[in-house]
Amino acid sequence: MRIATWNVNSVNARLPTVLAWLEAAAPDVVCFQEIKTIDEKFPREAFERLGYNVETHGQKTYNGVAILSKFPLSDIRRGLPGAEGAGPDGADDDQARYIEALIEAPVPVRVGAIYLPNGNPVGTGKFPYKLAWFDRLNAHARDLLALEEPFVLCGDYNVIPEAVDAKNPADWVGDALFQPESRAAFKALKWLGLSEAGELGEQPPGTYTFWDYQAGAWQRNNGIRIDFHLLSPQAADRFRGVETHRDARDMDKPSDHVPVVIELDMEEVAAPSASLRAA
C-alpha cells in the first residue's frame, strides 16, 4: 500500500497539476493539505473518476485537509480533540488542520492528515497557537498508540527538525519552523514511539520537500524538509520505502511543496522489516 502526503496550496488552482501527478503516481491513499476551499467546492468528482473515495475537512480561503483512498474509508475524525478555547485568539479552534480515517484494506491502517500551524511571526499569538496545537496532536497520538494498531500521521508539520533539513539553516534562525520549541515538540512526538519514514528509509541529506516561490529558491535548491510520515510501531514493521517526488516541483503551476510517498507491506502477516533483516 502506497500512502502519499502533499500540501497542494489550493486544490482548485492546482487541479490539472494534481490530477496529472495522481494519474502517474497512482498511490492507494493521498493526504492533501491546504486545499483552501470549503467542502462544497472541493472537486471530488475529478478524484472519484480516478477511483478514489474522498473525505474532506475544508475551510474558506485558508487551510483545509482531505484524505483520498482507493479502499473504503470509515471512522472519520475532523479536527483534533481539545478544540475548546484552543484557537489563536482564545476562542474555540475552528481551523481545518486535521482529518483522520480508517483505511479499510485487508489489513486496516488508520491515516491522519496534518497541516500544522506555521507559527510565524514568533512573538505573536500565532507561535503559542502552533505549540498548543502540537500538544493536542501529541496527546492524540498517545491515544492512538494505545490501540496498538498500524497508523500513519502524515502531512505538513511546518517544522525543520534538524539543520540538515535545510539548505541554508542560518536563514531559518528566528523562524517559527526552526525554533527550539517547535523542534522539541516534533521530537517529543517521535519519542512517544513513532518512526519517521525518512529515517527508516535513510533518505540522503538534501532531500527537501518545500521550496519557496520567491527568490529563485527552487533553481538554487534552497529547500527545507517539512513534510513527514510518522509511523506507529505496527506500521513501521511493514515499512518498505519512501520516495520524495521532487520532479513535481517542475510541473506547470507547481505547488511549493512536493509529494512524499511511503510503501507499506500489506501482507496479512508482515515479514520482518529491512532493518531487522540486516541486524
If one asks whether residue 246 binds DNA (CB under 7 A), the answer comes out as: no
Q: Shortest CA distance to 4 belongs to which of 91, 129, 103?
A: 103
Only one of the segments 33-41, 183-191, 244-252, 269-277 lies at the binding site for DNA (rule: CB under 7 A); that segment is 33-41
If one asks whether residue 122 binds DNA (CB under 7 A), the answer comes out as: no
The three cell numbers of residue 278 are: 540486516
User: Which neighbouring-strand residues pair with 27?
Assistant: none
Please select the residue that binds DNA; options are 189, 226, 258, 260, rule is CB under 7 A.
226
Is 229 annotated in a binding site? The answer is no
**Which residues does 49 contact at the CB level (< 8 Å), separation at least 6?**
none
52, 57, 140, 156: which one is catalytic? Answer: 156
Q: Shortest CA distance to 187 belongs to which of 136, 134, 133, 257?
A: 134
Minimum CB distance to DNA smaller for 142 or for 220: 220
Minimum CB distance to DNA smaller for 187 or for 220: 220
52 noted as active-site residue:
no
If one asks whether residue 97 binds DNA (CB under 7 A), the answer comes out as: no
257 noted as active-site residue:
yes
94 noted as active-site residue:
no
Is 237 annotated in a binding site? The answer is no
Tell me how many degrees the CA angle 98-190-210 measures, rounded to the nearest 5: 60
* DSSP β-ladder status, 239-244 and 260-264: antiparallel
Within the chain, residue ranges assigned H as helices are 15-25, 44-48, 126-145, 180-191, 197-200, 233-236, 274-278
52, 98, 115, 129: which one is catalytic? Answer: 115
CB of 172 to DNA, least distance (A): 8
| Residues 229, 261: Cα–Cα separation, whole Å | 9
Is 84 annotated in a binding site? The answer is no
If one asks whether residue 126 binds DNA (CB under 7 A), the answer comes out as: yes
The percent of the chain in helix, strand and coil, each rounded to the nearest 5, is 30, 25, 45
Only one of the segments 2-10, 76-84, 232-240, 264-272 lies at the binding site for DNA (rule: CB under 7 A); that segment is 2-10
**Per-residue binder mask for DNA (CB under 7 A), 192-221, x = binder:** ------------------x-xxxx------
| Residues 150, 254: Cα–Cα separation, whole Å | 32
Torsion of CA 219, 118, 28, 149, to 10 degrees: 140
CB of 63 to DNA, least distance (A): 7
Please select the residue that binds DNA; options are 142, 187, 220, 253, rule is CB under 7 A.
253
CB of 109 to DNA, least distance (A): 26
Please select the residue that binds DNA; options are 5, 7, 53, 182, rule is CB under 7 A.
7
Q: Are 8 and 22 in contact (CB under 8 A)?
A: no
Is 257 annotated in a binding site? The answer is yes
Is 34 annotated in a binding site? The answer is yes
Is 256 annotated in a binding site? The answer is yes
CB neighbour class for 243 (10 Å; exposed up to 12, middle 13-18, buried from 19): middle
**Chain residues in the site for DNA (CB under 7 A):** 7, 9-10, 12-14, 34, 36-37, 60-62, 117-118, 120, 126, 156, 158, 177, 210, 212-215, 224, 226, 253, 256
Residues designated as active site:
115, 156, 257
